[in-house]
Structure 1
Amino acid sequence: MNLLVLCLEILAFILVGGALILGMWRLFRGPSVPDRVVAADTLAVITTASLVWLASQFENPIYLDIALVYAALAFVAVVAIARAIEG
């Protein structure tokens, strides 16, 4: 059972790394500004999920507080940027 959990964690780590690479690609190579904003929001969600995963791995609830604050600030930032783009 322990080997299965380890394999699943490695697979999840690879998938999150792939998502980060694809999000960064869209952020830097996005054809328009709204595409870049969506990519930045996606990267913020991935980062928040990674912080929650760290809280689980290290069994330290402080990472959950950090993830909550980071998610709230990222949401406010994306909304502000979207309003600025809108006009």
Structure 2
Amino acid sequence: MVELSTALLAIAAAFVVFALVALYRVFVGPTIHDRVIAVNVMGTNTVIAIALVAAAFDQSVFLDVALVYALLNFLLSIAFSKFNVEHGGVL
């Protein structure tokens, strides 16, 4: 069982690294759309990492945190899209 927990934590660490790579696109992204997608990718990677940590430690409360974070990430995407459309950012 220790090997499975170690493997899940290693995969979670890989997703955190992927989120940090997406952070580069948030700061450098040539368009606002690239930045929004990168923030969404970071949020998704964070949710996956939290779920993997929940499985590794066998703590279901982390899944609740991941679910709330996923909903907030979705609402942020919708809110930004609505703001962008209302202010003429869509061609």
1:30 equivalent to 2:29? Answer yes
Alpha-carbon deviations, 1:9-47, whole Å to 9, x = none?
576356324412320010111111111110000000000
Structure 1 residues 14 and 65, CA gap change in structure 2 (3 angstroms): closer
* Contact 1:37–1:82, Cα closer than 8 Å, also in 2: no
User: Could you tell which deviates more after superposition, 13-22 or 35-44?
Assistant: 13-22
Q: Distance in 1 between matches of 2:7 and 2:69?
A: 26
Q: Distance in 1 between matches of 2:13 and 2:61?
A: 25
Structure 1 residues 42 and 58, CA gap change in structure 2 (3 angstroms): same
Q: Distance in 1 between matches of 2:69 and 2:5?
A: 28
Where does residue 49 of structure 1 map in the other structure?
48
RMSD between aligned residues: 2.2
Structure 1 gap ranges (5+): none
TM-score (norm 1): 0.82
Taking CA–CA contacts closer than 8 Å with sequence separation of 6 or more, which of the two structures ends up with the larger relative contact order?
A: 2
**Deviation of residue 86 (structure 1)?**
1.6
Structure 2 gap ranges (5+): 87-91
Q: Distance in 2 between matches of 1:16 and 1:63?
A: 16
Stretches (4+) displaced over 3 A:
5-11
Structure 1 residues 52 and 40, CA gap change in structure 2 (3 angstroms): same
* 3-state DSSP of counterpart to 2:27: helix
Alpha-carbon deviations, 1:54-81, whole Å to 9, x = none?
1011110000011011101110111100
